Amino acid sequence: MRLLSLDAAGTLTIIEQDSSRGRSGLVKDSANAARPRADSANAAVTAQPIMRTPENGGYLKIAYGAAAVIYISYLLLLRRRWTAVRARQEKNTLRSRR
Amino acid sequence: MTSASSSQAADATDNTASEIAPGPDWFLIAALVAVAAAVTRVLLFTPIELRQGLAQKIFYIHVPAAIVGMYFSVIPMAIVSGIYLWLKDERLDRIAESLAEVGLIFMSVVLITGPFWGKPIWGTFWQWDARLTSTLFLWFVLVGYLVLRGAIEQAEARARLSAIVGILGGLLVPFIHLTVYMFTTLHPMPIVLTPEGPKQNLSPEMTSTFLSSLAAFMLLMLALTRNRFRWATLRDAQQHIEDDR
């Protein structure tokens, strides 16, 4: 079961809870939220703070990579169009000289 | 048309072409260099935000793309479309066509980068809230605009009908801007486009990085639109010659 917790400082925390163990293990302290509460009676409860996760860098890479793909694809499309329009222009010029 | 006059017209196109495409597009190259410099600054010389970590750096590409796409591409496209309906100058139609296409590219970047920022911060890639849904709707309107242009062969009718769609697309932008005030949305309220400006909500380093990124994306938008407009001019000149034959 997943629960959301929002503390007074505005930090949102996702709490993974083993539903068979009840609600007693809810983690309210976001500073401790990143690690499993091994000291708790409810050892299966783990919490993941949404913010400050090191893998956030992965999302950065994907977002920048996707944006680069979009811009570069458009540049290639423009280049292809110019090549086509120049070929057409050459054809027109040759035709008019004949 | 006689063969002599068609030959003159073809020569004229040849001259137009050499004027339009004299060699490398230095403006576009300069814009790409500016974007590369801005991205380097974002990734290597800007502090990491305390709460969001590295994912916050998506801000420097997502927000400039949204500002440039909506306020500097789609709104001008709608204005130029309106002026076209008044003056019926085909250059205005070509400008609107170029702005719509480039606007679509920037809006695509907004819609792709947004979810990859949203996932680590909101916990979800997408939410059907007012801001996200209306932005997606604008994207579809821009796609529809370009599909409409491809579907009508008669130039005057194409320009007139697409100008109307362009104006309707532009009308969405103020609504999209206001969605975060009018509805309860997951998307935050503006932190840059506020009366106080970005300095109110960002540190000085982040503000200067953001502004340099915005300037680079503005340059890229202008360079892409110019390139696209020149290509459209050459395409139409050739079309006129082929129609005259």
User: ipTM of the predicted structure?
Assistant: 0.89
Report the C-alpha gap between B227 and B239 in whole angstroms. Answer: 18
- What letter represents residue A39's amino acid? D
B197 pLDDT above the threshold of 80? no
Q: CB-CB: which of A14, A52, A85 is closest to B231?
A: A85
- Collapsing DSSP states into helix, strand and coil, what is residue B140? helix
Report the pLDDT value the prediction gives residue B150, as an integer from 0 to 100: 96
Report the pLDDT value the prediction gives residue A27, as an integer from 0 to 100: 40
- Are the C-beta atoms of A89 and B10 separated by less than 8 Å? no
What's phi and psi for B203, nearest 5 deg? -70, 160
* 3-state helix vs strand vs coil in chain B, percent to 5: 80, 0, 20
Report the C-alpha gap between B51 and B49 in whole angstroms. Answer: 6
A85:B234 CB<8 A:
yes
For tokens 């490398």, what's the residue? B24
pTM of the model: 0.79
Mark which residues 16-75 of A lie under 8 Å from B by CB: 50-57, 59-60, 62-64, 66-67, 70-71, 74
Comparing C-alpha atoms, which of B150, B146, B31 is closest to residue B96?
A: B146
Burial label for B225, CB within 10 Å (0-12, 13-18, 19+), is buried
Report the C-alpha gap between A94 and A26 in whole angstroms. Answer: 79
Report the pLDDT value the prediction gives residue B239, as an integer from 0 to 100: 87
A31 pLDDT above the threshold of 60? no
**How many other CB atoms are there within 10 angstroms of residue A73's CB atom?**
12
Q: Which chain A residues have a beta carbon less than 8 Å from that of B57?
A: 60
Average pLDDT over residues B214-219: 98
Average pLDDT over residues B121-146: 95
Whether the CA torsion B99, B104, B109, B111 is positive or negative: it is: positive
